[in-house]
């Protein structure tokens, strides 16, 4: 029997938050190799590209799955926005990880690595909230535009 309301999260998805010592150093090196940070700090263009790569499909699937839930997809956005406004970027990451698990997906590991660098994670979450806002405005616009066949 499928547990439709369950979320499965692999502990490796949150390992950057719990890593210590050599693990953390290795992950930081990997973060630099991927180009998300350099000697000057976070690289916003690379982080924005990472966000764009994953958001559309994630939003579409999540909106589809949240249709029968009270508050639906908009409730997810409202909570993410509250976390963002209060600077709770790690909470946003953990919540997004739960949502990925709810969809039966695994959180992209490169996003998890951003939790090692607070500035990089903040930039990612800023782009994520902006992408949510654009998604909502696009969906509202689409609903208001009459279809040719109507």
Rounded Cα–Cα distance for residues 2 and 139 (Å)? 30
The tens place of each residue's pLDDT in the chain, 150 residues long, gives 456 667 788 888 888 888 999 999 999 999 999 999 999 999 999 999 999 999 999 999 999 998 888 888 889 999 999 999 999 999 999 999 999 999 999 999 999 999 999 999 999 999 999 999 999 887 666 666 655 544
Q: Is the distance from CB of 19 to CB of 99 less than 8 angstroms? A: no
- The secondary structure of residue 71, as a DSSP letter, is T
């Amino acid at each position: 029997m499928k547990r439709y309301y369950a979320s499965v999260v692999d502990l490796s998805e949150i390992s950057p938050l719990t890593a210590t010592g050599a693990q953390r150093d290795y992950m930081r090196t990997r973060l630099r190799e991927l180009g998300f940070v350099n000697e000057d700090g976070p690289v916003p263009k690379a982080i924005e590209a990472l966000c764009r790569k994953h958001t559309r499909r994630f939003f579409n699937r999540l909106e589809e799955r949240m249709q029968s839930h009270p508050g639906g997809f908009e409730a997810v956005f409202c909570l993410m926005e509250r976390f963002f406004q209060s600077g709770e970027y790690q909470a946003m990451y953990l919540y997004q990880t739960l949502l990925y698990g709810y969809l039966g997906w695994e959180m992209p590991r490169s996003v998890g690595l951003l939790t090692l660098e607070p500035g990089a994670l903040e930039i990612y979450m800023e782009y994520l909230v902006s992408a949510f806002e654009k998604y909502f405005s696009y969906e509202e616009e689409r609903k208001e535009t009459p279809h040719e066949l109507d």
